[in-house]
A and B are shown apart, each in its own frame.
Chain A
Amino acid sequence: MLDRMHILICGGPDCKDKSIPIRDAFKANIKKHHLENEVSAVITGCFGLCALGPHILIYPGEILYSGVSEENIQEIFEEHVMKNNPVERLLYRGKFDRMKLKNRSELTFFAQQERIVLRNCGTINPLDINEYIGRDGYMALAKVLTEMTPEEVISEVKKSGLRGRGGGGFPTGLKWEFAKKSISDEKYVVCNADEGDPGAFMDRAVLEGDPHTVLEAMAICGYAIGSHTGYIYIRAEYPVAVERLEIAIGQAKKLGLLGKNIFESGFDFDIEIRLGAGAFVCGEETALMASIEGERGMPRKKPPFPAVKGLFGKPTNVNNVETFANIPPIFLKGADWFKSIGTEKSSGTKVFALGGKIANTGLLEVPMGTTLREVIFDIGGGIPNNKKFKAVQTGGPSGGCITEEMLDTPIDFDNLIALGSMMGSGGMIVMDEDTCMVDVARFYLEFTVDESCGKCTPCREGTKRMLDILNRICQGRGNLDDLNILERLARIIKNSSLCGLGQTAPNPVLSTLKYFKDEYIAHVTDKVCPAGVCSKLTKYVILDNCIGCTKCAKNCPVGAITGNVKEKHKINSKLCTKCGVCKSICPVEAISTKPEKWRAIYAKAN
């Protein structure tokens, strides 16, 4: 018989001495009330948060008590266990203190996060500059302009170890220094808000929730490198963010926080918004600058680097939104504080946009060095509907897939590259057993083929040929030789393309080929799609757990399903058009598109 209630007591090294008497006190109470068959009390592994121990976690409800002692047990037992009335006073109070946290999944969602970039998102009114000022807004700019020299500003950024959050991970301080060293009558600061990676939306969240932080950081950068004009290049697909930025710039100018002689320091700085027009390649910095100048957004050869010859031929510093959002806190709290967060080579935090087959989709900010497993299973809540985790895709169309075996890798710039993926801008798409990896690779290539600007041949022609092959494989017309050709093409495109788009475009194919070769082989030799996605290679079947509710038969648009009430139904595959309606409405998931052999493999894994 299942226990009605489980009491888990932390048995980590710091709590161990106290947890045994706590367990014994529970046991005594259980015995006293003859609840041995209903309530269990056990000592488990360390809960973390050792400073606040010992902890008790009670199921159902995942209710967490912290800092309890033997004396509290009587009360917890009588109130919570007997009357189902949690003792509010003893519940865990997080350092986040967003509310009295009493549910553990909520606790992990917020408590494992460290909010620097998103510090104001969801807390202040983005349309009111006073709210930003009330949360120390523009204090960093004031400090920089009144107390520091440009050299000191750059050395502080260098010391913080901040690296570009747009994907490449280039040290920000170094970038600023290059721009500063270039001698010119005019220089520019550009904020790259052309967040094109599908699945990444942290820049949008910052611009919508806290636009002033970007303006403040751009002004600091302007002072450091000796520039008086900033441009924000933002996607036209983000109308809300554009509107809020416009309002924010207007308010900052009105208060004299942008414009002439800011804080009576003699420093002038102005910011202008420029809209993108739906071209992914414009996220590449040289293409972005071409676009601002009014050209087709095509990348230029580097060198000369933008720090030497950038926008309108002048030295230019380009940083992404999230990078800029880190700047004000670095000056308010110091580079040492920033360096203390994260790992040695990747300091600070990273914001991830968690999406796909995951329970808690959303944005989260964690210190660098957090493992993928913590992000996906602890904070993200794991995969819904008891499905099996298959892979997580990071870095968008430039990144790759990471499998279960590698989930314990701490996230930082260098580790992800070593795994054949990349940090990218921070989109993280979780995939489960129902996702076909060949189809995913095909999807990304379709994207890059569409978005390739056409300037250089390897990218323009090569990606197209790769897509042709993948389409063939997904339709069941591929052969084993195709896999070799794919791999060779991928290497050639990687080595010979002009810009980052082409150089990274083959990554999704290479990484799926590396880790999911069995799925490719199933497509080309067995002519089946293991996940049941590629429609040419799938067959709809009704499994034995069909309850005969007749829902599918009633909704099938071509009348291909037959069967009596409360009996297993059947699909006539000659009539079936594979539209998927039946699968989406079946209440017991009795309709499957997976081939039998793979169904067994997944069932075993679950």
Chain B
Amino acid sequence: METKVDITNEKIDLLYAEMEKHKQKSGPLMPTLHSAQRIFGCIPIEIQKIISKELDISVARINGVVTFYGHFSVVPKGKNIISVCLGTACYVKGSGGILDTVSHELKISVGETTDDGLFTLEGTRCIGACGLAPVFMINGEVYGNASVQMVKDIIAKYKT
């Protein structure tokens, strides 16, 4: 199933307002893309075209930049984003098992979104909470010293 991107006029106005600010800086593209990702949750081609016009950069170049960085995405993500840390400290302490559990529970693999649009599973780079390894995040909130049972419980909580 494809989750629809919510492009409203309000949001587009917000993007224009942010772009106005960023245009004052040298190298305005990255800050603009960060704003767009934050406002729309992704940067689809429609939005890239708007940015292209405003900043006078070709869509091809913008698309190249958007697809280069892991933080930007062209398709919308699920309502809840589960990111399992795959940094070394977490890996050594068994985050691979945590990732498998989530993947098994939600029946999706890394980078995919569930059919109901509720969850997206991501493997993330080290988030620097190595003292609490293994670690995973749901919507930016960090859960440390994770166990298989713990992830199962938390996913169940978010499902309801």
Contacts and interface: CB of A to CB of B under 8 A. Distances in A.
A280 interface: yes
Interface in B137-158: 140, 147-148
A312 B125 contact: no
B88 A279 contact: no
Interface stretch (A247-255, A286-294, A592-600): A286-294
B103 interface: no
B68 A296 contact: yes
Interface stretch (B2-10, B112-120, B128-136): B128-136
Interface stretch (A34-42, A136-144, A232-240, A488-496): A232-240
Contacts of B159: none
Nearest to B29: A294
B137 to A, nearest CB: 9
Contacts of A435: 92
A427 to B, nearest CB: 7
A199 B30 contact: no
A238 B130 contact: no
Contacts of B34: 236, 275, 277
A443 B30 contact: no
A591 to B, nearest CB: 15
A200 B126 contact: yes
Contacts of A217: none
B128 A204 contact: yes
B60 to A, nearest CB: 12
Contact of B97 (A274, A293, A580): A580
A279 B70 contact: yes
Contacts of B92: 355-357, 429, 431, 435, 440
A26 interface: no
A453 B130 CA distance: 26
B88 A355 contact: yes
A279 B31 contact: no
A196 interface: yes
B127 interface: yes
Nearest to A429: B88
A197 interface: yes
A196 B125 contact: yes
B126 A198 contact: yes
Contact of B69 (A195, A277, A429): A277
Contacts of A64: none
A295 B60 CA distance: 12
A393 interface: yes
A587 interface: no
Contacts of B39: none
A443 B70 contact: no
A356 B88 contact: yes
Contact of B125 (A198, A294, A444, A580): A198
B133 to A, nearest CB: 6
A164 interface: no
Nearest to A356: B92
B133 A198 contact: no
B72 interface: yes
A584 interface: yes
A256 interface: no
A472 B130 CA distance: 29
A413 interface: no
Specify which of B68, B93, B124, B147 lies most central, judged by the most chain A CB atoms within 10 Å of its CB: B68
Contacts, number: 115
Interface in B31-70: 31, 33-34, 57, 64-65, 68-70
A238 B128 contact: yes
Interface string B63-104: 011001111100000000000001111011100010000000
A443 B127 CA distance: 17
Interface of chain B: mostly helix, strand, loop or mixed:
loop
B71 A199 contact: no
B160 interface: no
B148 A584 contact: yes
A236 B26 CA distance: 19
Contacts of A393: 88
Given A277-B33, A277-B72, A581 B148 contact: yes
A357 B71 CA distance: 30
Interface in A346-368: 353, 355-357, 361-362
Contact of B26 (A238, A312, A443): A312
B87 to A, nearest CB: 3
Contacts of A293: 26-27
Given A198-B88, A199-B87, A355-B89, A297 B129 contact: no
Contacts of B130: 199, 201, 353, 355, 361, 427
A396 interface: yes
Interface string A236-277: 111100000000000000000000000000000000101111
A45 interface: no
A359 to B, nearest CB: 12
Contacts of B93: 356-357
B52 to A, nearest CB: 12
A278 B125 contact: yes
Contacts of B65: 294-296
Contacts of B91: 198, 443
A362 B127 CA distance: 14
Nearest to A293: B27
Contacts of A447: 86
16 contacts: A200-B128, A236-B34, A274-B31, A276-B71, A277-B33, A292-B27, A294-B28, A295-B65, A296-B68, A312-B26, A355-B130, A427-B89, A429-B89, A429-B92, A444-B88, A447-B86
Interface of A: 195-201, 204, 236-239, 272, 274-280, 291-297, 312, 353, 355-357, 361-362, 393, 396, 427, 429, 431, 435, 440, 443-444, 447, 453, 580-581, 584
A-B interface, 6 closest residue pairs, ranked by CB to CB distance from nearest: A294-B29, A278-B70, A355-B89, A201-B128, A198-B87, A277-B69
Interface of B: 25-31, 33-34, 57, 64-65, 68-72, 86-89, 91-93, 97, 124-131, 133, 140, 147-148
